[in-house]
Amino acid sequence: MDTTQLLKGVLDLAVLAVLKDEDGYGYDILRRLRTAGLEEVGDASVYGTLRRLFQAGLLTTYVVPSEEGPHRKYYGLNAAGRDQLQRAGKTWRTFASTMDGLLDERGVAA
């Protein structure tokens, strides 16, 4: 099944969420998302999202040269990012329950 379209607008939220408790770098964030169940996320999508969130002023970033491989560009939430995470989370929950209500009323896909 194709979840590409479903991800639209939600990937931002997902990335903010996996960064809530611990800073992370792109490749690691990709793994976190896939581990969490979003297995079809492409790497380019994550890197693009990180750039977008950073440009929106929601993330801080710093590069850590690794002795065992390529350098790692870490990202972390700032105050605005945490705020946005809460707001986007609420928006998602509201939207999701609206959809669930719509489907439940009509007995779709129990």
Partner DNA sequence: GACACTACCTCGCAGTGCGAAGTAGCTTCT
Partner DNA sequence: AGAAGCTACTTCGCACTGCGAGGTAGTGTC
Stretch that binds DNA, among 26-34, 77-85, 88-96, 98-106 (CB under 7 A): 26-34
Could you tell me if 35 and 15 are in contact, meaning their C-beta atoms sit under 8 angstroms apart?
no
Could you tell me if 81 and 58 are in contact, meaning their C-beta atoms sit under 8 angstroms apart?
yes
Measured CA to CA, the distance from residue 50 to residue 100 in angstroms comes to 30
The single residue among 30, 38, 50, 59 that binds its own copies, judged by CB under 8 A, is 38
Q: Does the protein bind its own copies through residue 93 (CB under 8 A)?
A: yes
Could you tell me if 34 and 51 are in contact, meaning their C-beta atoms sit under 8 angstroms apart?
no
In angstroms, give the least distance from the CB of 64 to DNA: 8
Site residues, DNA (CB under 7 A): 3-5, 7-12, 25-28, 40-45, 47-52, 66-74
